[in-house]
């Protein structure tokens, strides 16, 4: 689908316009970007069905933007976008990765201090020039310096949520070629890491030349780095490299194990093979005399070196090989039976158009029903978040009645009443307890005041979890991957209180969050605190990111029993009673 690519382009065009003297047109581009992000149908298919007229009739599009979409579909580019990029005096893409820097603030920094890129920004902050500009101050300057490192380290890496659909699109096409046998992604993408440096794809093929010809000529290709009979490398328009390797059938499993990694996992695996008098590499498992004894599949590779199969998500050399050895030996504490990608029975954190969502409650429910869910918790923002059209007590009560009406029309799914109540700086909530008590599920989240001390933030969260109305803490660390670090707090203290109060911690599946991290998830699992995997969806399409949250749970060694929303509706609600 090109929806995502067009959404990014329109968002960037909005930013470019905001850098100019007149920025009123930027709102139209932002609105169109949000619409394309939430659109379930491929915009290209809509165009093929009804041409530009059908595009013009879409919400948030209109004649001007429809022409640009048509141009992109036909040519793969938008001239005005390329013109904006050339004319823009600053590196907006890099600067916007710095926490707190929206395009309007970047514009001020450019006009006042001539800041064009991250290096200019860093120099200005170090010299104390930013604090004197209206709207910034000393604290903002300090935060900018702390955030620059995130922006610098993100160069050349993209979110899993962007890389995976790209890779899936490419592998799907490759599978359809008659010259291609087996196909799989590898590397950090297959391990479902939070950010991806490049995409690796392995195939088997007896006639690789036409496959390589096809690969380097795909519409997503921006540049061809190399083309050969067994390996080709390209740079995609999305800003990431992609390698395609051809391997032999008899070596596909060992090549997949090798190129999936991680590096540390592979080193330890090879050492284990060596202890058994074997040699393990990308071509197979060999005896001292050079006889191949395994290589076709990963399972036989692991079995040959004395291990049970290890899922890609946990190949990090952080105990998985030792756990596999214990399992083979029939001892306790073997490998976890990781939560499955089809185990979720309900999403407990979604937004509707009552607050800042794109779709109605009924539309969200119907989409969840199609996914086979038993329940869906509507958790719109509450009144302190005015920018998100947060609901007050009266609006929440009206929404509850509306949910009752919709539930009477649904057959397979039950909508649960909830909200994402805002946690204030002092640990109080922005909705009265007497209203919260009428909801089925209450999610509480921090949306501001991220720079508190560890002691203050810990106290703030503990106070919330002690409130009997609170069931789930959303995006518990507040991080935004490659943009904002987690706020400081004592996680061990949080876990103690969460266990005592039966407060569940969320794994937020949005690719920009994936909060909790895999390391913290593993801690949660070890102490027996319960988790929920939620999408934080603001549209029907947003429900699909559940996959990333499940992957994150798996990376943290979470099993089905650790995740509350793998339970039936009855058992899920029973936990919070």
β-bridge mates for residue 221, sequence order: 236
Sign of CA dihedral 478, 483, 488, 491: positive
Task: Please report how many Cα atoms fall inside a 13 Å half-sphere around the Cα of residue 496, on the Cβ side.
Answer: 8
Give burial (CB, 10 Å; 0-12/13-18/19+) of 244. buried
Q: Where are the domains of the chain?
A: 3-134, 158-246, 254-328, 346-575
Angle between helices 79-87 and 62-75 (to 10 degrees): 100
In degrees and rounded to multiples of 5, residue 108 shows phi and psi of: -65, -45
pLDDT score, position 495: 97
Superfamily of domain 254-328 in CATH is DNA polymerase, thumb domain (3.30.210.10)
Three-state secondary-structure class, residue 100:
coil
Three-state secondary-structure class, residue 194:
coil
pLDDT score, position 5: 77
Alpha-carbon dihedral of residues 38, 41, 42, 48, nearest 10 degrees?
-140
Rg value, the chain, Cα: 25
- Best CA proximity match to 487, nearest among 499, 498, 477: 477
Domains 254-328 and 346-575 share a fold: no
CATH number of the domain located at residue range(s) 346-575 in this protein: 3.20.20.140
Q: What is the pTM assigned to this prediction?
A: 0.84
- Best CA proximity match to 462, nearest among 480, 450, 444, 478: 444
Please report, for residues 220, 303, 455, the alpha-carbon distance to residue 295 in angstroms, rounded to integers and kept in the order given.
Answer: 32, 11, 53
- Which string of DSSP letters, residue by residue, matches 500-515? HHT-EEEEE--TTT-B
Please report, for residues 367, 455, 511, 522, the alpha-carbon distance to residue 519 in angstroms, rounded to integers and kept in the order given.
Answer: 32, 22, 16, 5
Alpha carbons 74 and 372: distance in angstroms, whole number: 37
Alpha carbons 105 and 329: distance in angstroms, whole number: 60
**Per-residue pLDDT tens over the stretch 293-318:** 999 999 999 999 999 999 999 999 99
Q: What topology does CATH give the domain 158-246? A: Beta Polymerase; domain 2 (3.30.460)
In degrees and rounded to multiples of 5, residue 208 shows phi and psi of: -75, -20
Alpha carbons 396 and 390: distance in angstroms, whole number: 10
Architecture in CATH of 3-134: Orthogonal Bundle (1.10)
Give, for 320, the enclosing helix (H) or strand (E). helix 320-328
**What is the CA 47 to chain-centroid distance, rounded?**
28
**Per-residue pLDDT tens over the stretch 4-56:** 778 888 888 888 887 765 556 787 888 888 888 777 778 888 888 888 988 98
- Best CA proximity match to 230, nearest among 253, 205, 259, 250: 205
Token code pair at residue 539 = 């549209």
pLDDT score, position 151: 65
Token code pair at residue 250 = 């008899």
Report the mean per-residue pLDDT for the chain: 92
pLDDT score, position 150: 64
Give burial (CB, 10 Å; 0-12/13-18/19+) of 216. middle
Q: For the chain, which ranges sit under pLDDT 70?
A: 1, 20-24, 150-156
Alpha carbons 313 and 556: distance in angstroms, whole number: 9
pLDDT score, position 382: 96
Token code pair at residue 555 = 């990376």
């Amino acid at each position: 689908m090109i929806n995502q690519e067009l959404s990014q382009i329109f968002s960037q065009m909005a930013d470019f316009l905001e850098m100019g003297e007149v920025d009123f047109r930027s709102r139209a581009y932002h609105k169109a970007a949000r619409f394309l992000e939430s659109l379930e149908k491929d915009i290209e298919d809509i165009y093929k069905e009804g041409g530009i007229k059908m595009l013009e009739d879409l919400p948030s599009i209109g004649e001007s933007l429809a022409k640009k979409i048509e141009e992109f579909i036909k040519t793969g580019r938008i001239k005005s976008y390329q013109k904006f990029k050339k004319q823009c005096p600053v590196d907006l893409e890099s600067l916007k990765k710095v926490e707190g820097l929206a395009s309007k603030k970047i514009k001020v920094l450019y006009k006042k201090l001539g800041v064009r890129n991250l290096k200019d920004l860093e120099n200005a902050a170090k010299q104390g020039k930013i604090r004197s500009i209206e709207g910034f101050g000393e604290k903002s300057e300090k935060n900018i310096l702390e955030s620059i490192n995130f922006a610098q380290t993100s160069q050349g890496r993209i979110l899993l949520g962007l890389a995976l659909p790209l890779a899936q699109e490419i592998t799907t096409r490759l599978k359809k070629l008659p010259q291609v046998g087996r196909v799989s992604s590898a590397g950090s993408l297959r391990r479902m890491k939070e950010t991806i440096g490049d995409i690796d794809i392995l195939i088997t093929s007896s006639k690789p030349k036409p496959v390589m010809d096809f690969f380097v000529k795909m519409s997503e290709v921006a540049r061809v780095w190399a083309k050969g009979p067994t390996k080709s490398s390209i740079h995609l328009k999305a800003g990431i490299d992609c390698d395609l390797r051809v391997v032999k059938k008899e070596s596909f499993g060992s090549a997949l194990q090798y190129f999936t990694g991680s590096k540390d996992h592979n080193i330890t695996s090879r050492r284990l093979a060596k202890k058994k008098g074997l040699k393990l590499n990308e071509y197979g498992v060999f005896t001292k005399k050079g006889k191949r004894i395994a290589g076709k599949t990963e399972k036989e590779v692991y079995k040959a070196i004395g291990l049970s199969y290890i899922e890609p998500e946990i190949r990090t050399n952080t105990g998985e090989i030792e756990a596999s050895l214990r399992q083979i030996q029939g001892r306790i504490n073997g490998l976890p039976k990781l939560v499955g990608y089809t185990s979720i029975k309900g999403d407990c954190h979604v937004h509707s158009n009552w607050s800042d969502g794109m779709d109605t409650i009924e539309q969200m429910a119907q989409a969840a029903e199609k996914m086979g869910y038993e329940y869906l918790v509507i958790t719109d923002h509450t009144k302190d978040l005015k920018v998100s059209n947060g609901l007050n007590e009266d609006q929440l009560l009206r929404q509850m009645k509306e949910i009752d009406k919709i539930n009477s029309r649904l057959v397979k799914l039950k909508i649960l009443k909830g909200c994402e109540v805002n946690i204030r700086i002092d640990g109080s909530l922005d909705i009265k307890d007497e209203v919260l008590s009428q909801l089925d599920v209450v999610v509480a989240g921090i949306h501001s005041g991220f720079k508190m001390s560890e002691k203050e933030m810990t106290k703030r969260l503990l106070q919330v979890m002690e409130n009997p109305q609170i069931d789930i803490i959303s995006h518990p660390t507040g991080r935004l991957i490659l943009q904002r670090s987690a706020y400081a707090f004592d996680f061990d203290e949080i876990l103690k209180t969460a266990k005592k109060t039966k407060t569940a911690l969320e794994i937020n599946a949005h690719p920009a969050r994936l909060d909790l991290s895999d390391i913290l998830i593993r801690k949660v699992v070890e102490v027996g605190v319960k988790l929920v995997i939620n999408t934080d969806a603001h549209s029907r399409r947003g429900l699909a990111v559940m996959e990333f949250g499940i992957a994150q749970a798996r990376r943290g060694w979470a099993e089905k029993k650790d995740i509350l929303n793998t339970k039936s509706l009855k058992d899920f609600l029973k936990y919070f009673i």
